[in-house]
Amino acid sequence: MKPQRLLFLASGRGSNFQAIARAVKEKRIPHAQIVGLISNRKEAGAVSIAKELGVPTHTLEKSAFRGSDGKWDRAAFEITLEKTIESYQPDWICLAGYMLLLGERIVERWEGKILNIHPSLLPKFKGLHAQKQALEAGERVTGCTVHLVTQEMDEGQIVEQASLEILSSDTDESLSARLLTLEHETYIRALIRLTGS
Ligand code: GRF
């Protein structure tokens, strides 16, 4: 069976990418290979991790796409992003802390093949600071979700979910740290299933 080509899009720390890369290396996702990582921030931790692992990286910063009015030329950015994605010929596009919304063309072109991980039990607590949102809502249980990406933020078919008890002593930091470990396991489990391993 031909290994499925995973392409990552990340903007930050890169812990999900790192955990998945380790799992791929250890053949825990036996039918997958990582073909590249694209970031919109060249100083992102994810980029350094990818370089250390010998994973090809590509950086596309918003600041390089300014229109004549000085504003971000989103259309030009998206066209270049789409071409860059195509150049990696991915089977799956894995968003892992990618902080920009993908444009309509890319979402349509790769429909059903773009995954995202979100630190809540979707459809609850979409958007930023989902861990804090769960704490502030007084939830007793939260979790994380791997889902297919659609045009709407944190929507799309749920692929894998895992839940976690919120402790009365939890702070945003302690809860986020426990959730992050769960995110890594959950994303790996989703990929094992989706790549047919
Ligand atoms: C994770 O909490 C993920 O759920 C969210 O962004 C964060 C990325 O963390 N979408 P990392 O860069 O993978 O460490």
pLDDT at residue 26, as a whole number: 97
- What is the chain's mean pLDDT, rounded? 97
pLDDT at residue 40, as a whole number: 98
Tokens 């930023």 belong to which residue?
A: 128
118 assigned to active site: yes
**pLDDT < 70: residue spans in the chain:** 197
pLDDT at residue 49, as a whole number: 98
Q: Which of 58, 118, 147, 184 is catalytic?
A: 118
Please provide the DSSP assignment of 126-155 as one string.
-SS-HHHHHHHTT-SEEEEEEEE--SSTT-
**CA of 97 relative to ligand 1 center, distance in Å:** 4
pLDDT tens by residue, 64-74: 999 889 999 99
pLDDT at residue 197, as a whole number: 54
**Could you tell me the end-to-end alpha-carbon distance of the chain, in angstroms, rounded to an integer?**
10
pLDDT at residue 1, as a whole number: 77
pLDDT at residue 15, as a whole number: 98
Ligand 1 proximal residues by C-beta, below 6 Å: 10, 12-16, 96-97, 117-119, 180, 183
pLDDT at residue 11, as a whole number: 98
Under 8 Å CB-to-CB from 188, ≥6 apart: which residues? 19, 20, 23, 28, 29
pLDDT at residue 28, as a whole number: 97
**CA of 10 relative to ligand 1 center, distance in Å:** 9
Q: Evaluate whether 194 touches 32 at the Cβ level (below 8 Å).
A: no
Question: Which atom of ligand 1 lies closest to the CA of 144?
Answer: 4
